[in-house]
Amino acid sequence: MPYLSGKEMVKELRRALSNPNIQSDRLRYRNTVLKVIRAMSQGVDVSDLFSEMVKACATVDVVQKKLVYVFLCCYAHLNPELSLLVVNTLRKDCLDPNPMVRSLALRSMTNLRLSSLVEYVEQPLTAGLRDRAACVRRVAVLGWAKLHNLQPGSEIDGAVVNELYSLLRDPDPVVMVNCLRALEEVLKDEGGVVINKPITHHLLNRLKECDTWGQSEVLRVLQRYQPQSEDELFDILSLLDSSLVSPHPPVMAATLSLFLSLCSGLPAVSQAALERVRGPLLAACGSGSREMRFTALCHIQLLLRSIPGLLGEHYKRFFCSYAEPAYIKRRKMQVLVELVNDENVIMILDELKGYCTDVNTDTAQAAISAIGRIGRSYSDKCLEILTGLLGLKQDQITSAVVQTIRDLVWACPQCSDAVSSALEGCEEVLQDSQGRQALLWLLGAYGERISSAPYTLEAFIDGVRSETSMELKMELLTSTMRLFLCRPAETQDMLGRLLHYCIEEERDMCVRGQALLYYRLLQRGIGETRNVLQVRRSDPSIGVLIGRQAEPISQWVSSFNTLEPLQHCSVERLGGPAGLPAPGAEPSVTLSLSPPVTPEEFECLWMQQRDTIRCGAVPHCSPQSLHAAMQLVNIQTLAFTPSHTLPWKVFLYTHTLRADTSCSTLVLGELLYEVKVTLWQQPHDVSSLRVFLSVLTTVLHTLSSEVTIFQVGPELFA
């Protein structure tokens, strides 16, 4: 074909389509239509040919019909009036003796997606449900779902629903599965298709006939069924047993999901099921497709939450190979951390050590923090590796190591001695502000053991003018103050200089405020200062969290075989300083800090109205640690009253985001020392508020293990 521009091509094609000579020659006519389709798929706008193509539809040639239908479905929404003409031809085709033509016509008719045509489509669809050929019934059944999507608010025809229910008993398995799919969509508002005992048993008995797609679909729908007796439950389980070890990962995952939801009351059975799927899951982890491997890894992480020992001996399966993408490597390392036990710890650490110098910095950082995580249980070996890495003098590696060491020391204070000797000389290598902040924190917390601490801090203080990061300056202030408390003679002079600079010249209000606070604190005497700045070197609650208790399966079963495990953990950090429960502890609601709320907005909203909830005690702890702890769970503290005033108050805010409805609410709160929590929420949503409160109470719990916090009763939400 000669090269023609779009317009000329359309003109040429129109001439050809309306040429009676071509129209009378079947082959040439069909070829011209094929040319139109080809032009369409190359992005040429051929919508002008609509009326010619409608005429081309009236032919006995199946192939040509098929091509024309492709065209019509694409452009129907541009020409609703002309599409009316098509419907007539299509309706005639629905009576064709060839079942392929019938199904094709029905499918195209429903794919036109024009609500004006609904009345013409209904009759052939009803007829299609009773067609002799299975392939027509398959299309007709789904056609009703499409029709319903066109007019979502409309009344549902009871007769059609009944007919669809009766077609669940169709001899063709695809028709059966399509019926389920259609009913799910049509009855969405009523909670989907009703699954009762006869339907369940019918579906289960015919499970084997379906293809793998159909099987996973059926298994998913069956999750809604609650068996009435224990005998029935075990009947169902034994029917499902063989698909539990199905070689097709989607079927296996769907079966396991159903299995676990059925046996929620029988932990022993669920445990056995998990052990049975170990083989297929591991196979999926070694699958040729990297996306499949990734998904399997994410699901394995879920299983490990309940049975940590499930895969202990298979740890080698999770060693990374050179060419794997970074997202898989990161997951594999997270799994490896979970699998560590006394026998394999040396092998795993050796392996992780190899990844620390990976070219991809994300992978290297993940490996380093994985070693840090293992260090909570095997600190000596890990510290040896980490200090060895410091010797490489590479800025990114050093930064990651210093941050990891900070987190490690926070969790196990007993390794601080080894750390203090390793830190010398790091400051020259560190470039990024995160790493330097971690170093400053360590210097502040363990200053009395690091002989060079004052000199290192002095270098930082000398360079403070050219410093841009606000967080770093804050950290520097705190660290210098802490060091001053334990080594006053060496630090006094530089602290003076730092405070002077921060109060007189600093532009950033946060830094200036912090400096003023410290200045006034010092004026009140050293005893008071010591009280406030008392170094919290570790978090006592983490000791419990290290050997993480096996969670009950019900915690994660609802998110098994959904997209949730694939995304949530991707943002979850590998253990911050405080191992508080991840923000998404409650499956469907997450907290987030964006968009930020300014103090003015906060005040404005706060004045409107609020509910008061007595939450029992709010612990009195240092604002920094409260701030840090809250930030970990995505709650922002906006303001504190000075720590010695009573009543002591904290203002905070967060956003809740529900994964299922993706609606978000803003929560503002006031913590009143040992009295109450006042909350304000917009828009009102009880369940997300409850999640917020549970996260909040967990944080407060962790901060003050000695103070009891009362459970919030539901009547408070009324």
Partner 1 sequence: MINSLFLISHSGDIFLEKHWKSVISRSVCDYFLEAKEKSGDPENVAPVLQTPHHYLISIYRGKLFFLSVTQTEVPPLFVIEFLHRVADTFQDYFGDCSEVVIKENTVTVYELLEEMLDNGFPLATESNVLKEMIRPPTILRSVVNTLTGGSNVGGTLPTGQLSNVPWRRAGVKYTNNEAYFDVIEEIDAILDKSGTTVFAEIQGVVEACVKLTGMPDLTLSFMNPRLLDDVSFHPCVRFKRWESERVLSFIPPDGNFRLMSYHVSSQNLVAIPVYVKQNISFLETGSCGRLDITIGPKQTMGKTVENLTVTIPMPKSVLSVNLTATQGTYTFDLTTKAVLWDVGKLNPQKLPNLRGSISIQTGAPKPEENPSINIDLKIQQLAISGLKVSRLDMYGEKYKPFKGVKYVTKAGKFQVRT
- Per-residue x/- track, 257-286, partner 1 (CB under 8 A): ----------------------xx-xxx-x
Q: Is 142 in the site for partner 1 (CB under 8 A)?
A: yes
- Residue tagged 């392939």 (tokens): 135
* Six token digits for residue 43: 């992005």
**CB atoms closer than 10 angstroms to residue 500:** 12
Q: Is 30 in the site for partner 1 (CB under 8 A)?
A: yes
Identify the three-state secondary structure at position 672: strand
Near partner 1 in 184-213, by CB under 8 A = 211-213
Near partner 1 in 506-525, by CB under 8 A = none
Q: Is 41 in the site for partner 1 (CB under 8 A)?
A: yes
Among 6, 8, 15, 34, binds partner 1 (CB under 8 A): 34
Burial class, 68, CB count within 10 angstroms (exposed 0-12 / middle 13-18 / buried 19+): buried
- Backbone angle region of 592, left / alpha / beta, with phi > 0 → left and psi within -120 to 50 → alpha: beta
Least distance from partner 1 to the Cβ atom of residue 41, Å? 4
- Residue among 326 and 535 whose Cβ is closer to partner 1: 326
Q: Which long-range contacts (CB under 8 A, 24 or more apart) does 545-553 make?
A: 545/579, 546/376, 546/377, 546/411, 546/579, 547/377, 548/308, 550/305, 550/306, 550/307, 550/308, 551/305, 551/306, 552/267, 552/306, 553/260, 553/264, 553/267, 553/270, 553/274, 553/306
Least distance from partner 1 to the Cβ atom of residue 569, Å? 11
Least distance from partner 1 to the Cβ atom of residue 456, Å? 24
Angle formed at CA 490 by CA 487 and CA 491, multiple of 5 degrees: 75
User: What is 41-85 written as a DSSP string?
Assistant: HTT---GGGHHHHHHHHS-S-HHHHHHHHHHHHHHGGG-HHHHHH
Near partner 1 in 555-574, by CB under 8 A = 561-564, 566-567, 570
Least distance from partner 1 to the Cβ atom of residue 68, Å? 12
- Per-residue x/- track, 160-179, partner 1 (CB under 8 A): --------------x---x-
Q: Is 584 in the site for partner 1 (CB under 8 A)?
A: no
Near partner 1 in 586-645, by CB under 8 A = none
Near partner 1 in 388-427, by CB under 8 A = 392, 394
Using an 8 Å Cβ cutoff, are 567 and 617 in contact? Answer: no
Among 254, 335, 498, 677, binds partner 1 (CB under 8 A): 254
The residue range among 225-233, 240-248, 514-522, 589-597 that interacts with partner 1, by the rule CB under 8 A, is 240-248
* Six token digits for residue 370: 């994985």
The residue range among 245-253, 372-380, 494-502, 645-653 that interacts with partner 1, by the rule CB under 8 A, is 245-253
DSSP state of 650: E
Q: Tell me, by CB under 8 A, how many residues bind partner 1.
A: 84
Span between the terminal Cα atoms of the chain, in Å: 74
Angle formed at CA 282 by CA 281 and CA 283, multiple of 5 degrees: 90
- Residue among 184 and 601 whose Cβ is closer to partner 1: 184
Near partner 1 in 75-134, by CB under 8 A = 98-100, 107, 113, 133-134
Q: Residue 582's closest CA among 600, 570, 594?
A: 570
Q: Are strands 664-672 and 676-682 parallel, antiparallel or unpaired?
A: antiparallel
Task: List strand residue ranges (DSSP E) for 192-326, in order.
Answer: none
Give the span between the Cα atoms of 583 and 634, in whole angstroms.
Answer: 7
- Per-residue x/- track, 652-691, partner 1 (CB under 8 A): --------x-x-----------------------------
Alpha carbon 242 to its chain's center: 31
- Residue among 289 and 492 whose Cβ is closer to partner 1: 289
- In sequence order, the 6+-apart residues with CB closer than 8 A to the CB of 327 are 294, 570
Least distance from partner 1 to the Cβ atom of residue 59, Å? 13
Burial class, 509, CB count within 10 angstroms (exposed 0-12 / middle 13-18 / buried 19+): exposed
Among 120, 165, 319, 378, binds partner 1 (CB under 8 A): 319
Least distance from partner 1 to the Cβ atom of residue 332, Å? 12
Near partner 1 in 347-386, by CB under 8 A = 351, 354, 357, 359-360
Q: Is 37 in the site for partner 1 (CB under 8 A)?
A: yes
- Per-residue x/- track, 283-312, partner 1 (CB under 8 A): xx-x-xxxxx-xxx----------------
- Residue among 567 and 645 whose Cβ is closer to partner 1: 567
